[in-house]
Amino acid sequence: MSINVIKDQSDAKLDIVFVHGLKADQKHWTTEKSVFWPEKILPGQISNARILAFEYEDAEVDSFWNEEDLISDISDDLLSELMAERRGDKAERPVVFIAHCLGGLVCENALIRGANHEKKKQLVNSVVGVLLLGTPHFHPGTINEATKFFQLANQEVPSDSDLQEKSKFVLTIPQEFAKFRQGAPLKLETFYEGSPTKVNGGEVKIVDLAVAKFTDDSPLLDWQEIITR
């Protein structure tokens, strides 16, 4: 696991950190392999930002749905690696996270855990914004939607009882993040999928409006409508 510097600016005053999702890496941030927009497009829009990407291996379904809390290992490494990259005067910079799909749960969980960690509090307090692209926020009424991720990964879909057992950690994150947000003055933007994804010969929306919503009344934006306007 590591933080990769995508683009640095000599006058950078902001750190933008990308966190990818399930079975993904840098190339999955765009449909055009020749255009990695965090590197090619974003710097032209925000000229005073350093752009970083958190890379973690083995982002498989079992990292998120497991009887053990494996997702917290990834979340802890996110903040630890980012702290190492922000030594000296960089430690005071504001931070914006841009997270895709299950990477959003990694990001949310990192902020929850970091807020209660003496050495990581400064970094958490520096976060001014979080942008979530198709991040699921499951609750007991929508947890069956998680089977789509197993289908997407070409893995055996667990039974209802097994899924409930494997989901106990994933289910707590939206609730705890809602509590965290009450005391954190950060800007949050959430997007859901407007167009389906091709899975095993069919088309399905992996993270639709019902799954992307938090338990509160936070507004959501249709990702497809935004990027095609």
Any idea where the domains of the chain sit in the sequence? Answer: 2-228
Class of domain 2-228: alpha beta
pLDDT surpassing 90 at residue 228: no
pLDDT at 96: 97
Beta-carbon count within 10 A of 3 CB: 20
Which of 46, 52, 55 is CA-nearest to residue 5? 52
Strand 49-55 versus strand 2-7 pairing type: antiparallel
Average pLDDT over residues 129-147: 93
pLDDT at 86: 95
pLDDT surpassing 60 at residue 225: no
pLDDT at 109: 97
Cβ atoms of 106 and 182 within 8 Å: the answer is no
Q: Token pair of 152, please?
A: 């997407």
pLDDT at 226: 41
- 3-state SS, residue 62: helix
Average pLDDT over residues 47-72: 85
pLDDT surpassing 50 at residue 121: yes
Q: Token pair of 11, please?
A: 């006058």
For residues 20-55, b (16+ Cβ closer than 10 Å) or e, as one string? bbbbeeeeebeeeeeebebeeebbeebeebbbbbbb
User: Tens of pLDDT along 31-53?
Assistant: 556 667 777 777 777 889 999 99
pLDDT at 229: 28
User: Tens of pLDDT along 139-156?
Assistant: 888 999 999 998 888 888
pLDDT at 32: 55
Cβ atoms of 173 and 109 within 8 Å: the answer is yes
Q: Is the pTM of this model over 0.95?
A: no
pLDDT at 30: 54
